[in-house]
Amino acid sequence: DAGITQSPRHKVTETGTPVTLRCHQTENHRYMYWYRQDPGHGLRLIHYSYGVKDTDKGEVSDGYSVSRSKTEDFLLTLESATSSQTSVYFCAINSPGTPSTDTQYFGPGTRLTVL
Amino acid sequence: QQQVKQSPQSLIVQKGGISIINCAYENTAFDYFPWYQQFPGKGPALLIAIRPDVSEKKEGRFTISFNKSAKQFSLHIMDSQPGDSATYFCAASWESGGYQKVTFGIGTKLQVIP
């Protein structure tokens, strides 16, 4: 187990409500990522972080914001959830134990349903 | 728009058969090609990976074949087993802005039937 957890694992919410998903790592890795997984689209990058307070947008960032105040925590916020944000969300870090960021190591995912 | 085109989207193979999943790309800046395996309810996990300076990499029953000139690569699973039933993603990565970016194919759901 590479030491990456996500919370909550499941969440059902209503349209228009704010939602925050948490990713926690114990590997002290600099790079962290948020992806969403949808049928027919594979994994798409939402936002990523390359250090504390250093974040940038991915290919599907609209409607999402992130924050990283500590190395170990990367938060994904949906300011006002919409039904199109119903998805499975994965956090990832670069592979533990290697200096390379080539390979992603994924958390167990959060299944979010927006009604 | 997918930067890595993966096919087929679903695949059914008999136990003991060969499973083949194909991917194609256009961006010549890609320098690392991993395959990820995902079981239901779990996150994807690295299965095997290759760099473009080699044409084949084998790890147990899993082999990546890489054709740089055609910009194609494929995953072969020999002697497929029911336990191989999972979703497989090909991916490609490249360096941009000082770190590696990754793009994924849409995934192939493999079912190995006894």
pLDDT one digit per residue (tens) for chain B, 114 residues: 679 999 999 999 999 999 999 999 999 999 899 999 999 999 999 999 999 899 999 999 999 999 999 999 999 999 999 999 999 999 998 877 767 788 999 999 999 999
Return the bridge partners of A6, or none: A23
Comparing alpha-carbon positions, the chain A residue that sits nearest to B32 is A102
Residue B14 burial (C-beta neighbours within 10 Å; 0-12, 13-18, 19+): exposed
The first and second tokens of residue B96, run together, are 């941009």
User: Does position A99 have pLDDT exceeding 60, yes or no?
Assistant: no
Q: What's the burial of B83, exposed, middle or buried (CB within 10 Å: 0-12/13-18/19+)?
A: exposed
At residue A9, what are phi and psi to the nearest 5 degrees?
-85, -30
State the total domains in chain B: 1
**pLDDT at position A50:** 87
Which pLDDT score, from 0 to 100, does residue A30 have? 85
d(CA A5, CA B25): 32
**Could you tell me the CATH number of the domain that includes residue B8?**
2.60.40.10
Q: Residue A45 is which amino acid?
A: L
Smallest Cβ–Cβ distance between B105 and the set A42, A50, A94 belongs to A42
Terminal Cα distance for chain A, rounded: 33
Q: What is the pLDDT of residues B48-64, one digit of tens each?
A: 999 989 999 999 999 99
C-alpha to C-alpha distance for A62 and B79, rounded to whole angstroms:
44
Domains annotated for chain A, with CATH where assigned, are 4-114 (2.60.40.10)
pLDDT band at A101 (very low <50, low <70, confident <90, very high): low
What integer pLDDT is reported at residue A34 of this predicted model?
97
**What digits encode the pLDDT tens for the residues A14-58?**
999 999 999 999 988 888 999 999 988 899 999 999 889 999 999
**B45 and A106: CB-CB below 8 Å?**
yes
- Give the mutation candidate from B100, B108, B109 for the A interface (greatest A CB count, under 10 A): B100
